[in-house]
Amino acid sequence: MDKATVKCAFCQGKGVDPFGIMSQLSTCYVCGGKTEVTVAEPYVTCTYCQGTGVHPGTRMDCLVCRGRGMVHIEEPGEKCPDCGGTGVEKLGFMPCLTCKGKGVVSVKRKEGNEKWQ
């Protein structure tokens, strides 16, 4: 599996805690202060946090991308039929269980799942 290096979404590539919870100088716990993170290819912007790396409504890293802002997807993929590609479950505050918050599902998974036929 190929990997790519991308700017840390959680700290916006600054290497420090964006919320200054421990201190204004605290190291970003997602990238460890390196300003970049590694993501498996192919990848897309995290739909659940919209690429911010921050779990919506909190000051924590995103449950789906773990603060990277990007998520690995299987190819080929298509919009999730349960969340409509939003990555958010129907109640509106947790990641969709079908696509795991990515907003897309693998065509291979769909073909092997009776629920989708």
Read off the pLDDT of residues 11-41 as tens digits, 9 standing for 90 and up.
999 999 888 777 777 899 999 999 999 999 9
Please check whether residue 82 is in contact with residue 98, taking contact to mean a CB–CB distance below 8 angstroms.
yes
Whole-prediction pTM: 0.80
Residue 8 clears pLDDT 90, i.e. is over it: yes
What pLDDT shows up at residue 115?
46
Copy the structure tokens of residue 55: 């779990």
What is the signed CA dihedral for 97, 99, 103, 107, rounded to 10 degrees? -150
How many other C-beta atoms are found inside a 10 Å radius of the C-beta of residue 26?
15
